[in-house]
Amino acid sequence: MDAEAFIKGCETALKECIDEMQTPLMKYCYNILLNYADAEDAVQTTFIKAYKNRNNIRNSITLPAYLYRVAYSTSIDIIRKRRFFMVDSQRSNNCSNFISEEMQAALSKLTALDRAIVYGRAVDELSYSELSEIYGKSEQILRKRYERAKKKLINILKKNDREESIIIHNKRKENLI
């Protein structure tokens, strides 16, 4: 991807950028929004906003971080609109196989920023300095939020496992009676 050409307004560079970044941004937005259609809208809007505001990109090295920052703010805007219009926020999983339903349910209990941080660290393997550039927060704050979110996810998943084993145990009892 030729970031300098993108910043200058080259449409070929825009196409290359979309080809390279569409899938990672789609996964990123999906893990924030937990809705495939909303994630598609967010990614499309991200590329439109980024191209229109390409003069705001400081240098070509920061283009991916800029795209993630725009994708994050676009996803948050979609979440706000959901709340404002009271749209049914049921997850639509029919088009996606990015994450398991169990993990999706656990992630839904985190804030959008915590989901984004967990995804950035665990899936995209971004460093804390890269995350700091994307979210405009210090590395220490992001490190702490990630650790807390990770612990919360572990506790949620453990609780789900315990509840599932209780249900299985109760079904076995019912079958014996």
Number of Cα atoms under 13 Å in the Cβ half of residue 126: 24
pLDDT at 84 (0 to 100): 58
How far lies 117's CA from each of 50, 56, 72, 146, in Å? 21, 24, 10, 6
pLDDT at 44 (0 to 100): 96
Tokens of 152: 């919360």
Buried residues in 19-37 as b, exposed as e (16+ CB within 10 A): eebeebbbbbbbbbbbbbe
pLDDT along the chain (177 residues), means of 10: 87 93 94 91 95 84 89 92 56 53 85 89 87 90 94 87 62 56
Report the predicted TM-score, pTM, of the whole model to 2 decimal places: 0.66
State the Cα–Cα distance between residues 128 and 137, nearest whole angstrom: 10
pLDDT at 95 (0 to 100): 46
All domains of the chain in start order, with CATH: 1-97 (1.10.1740.10), 99-177 (1.10.10)
pLDDT at 16 (0 to 100): 94
pLDDT at 147 (0 to 100): 95
Tokens of 146: 């990630």
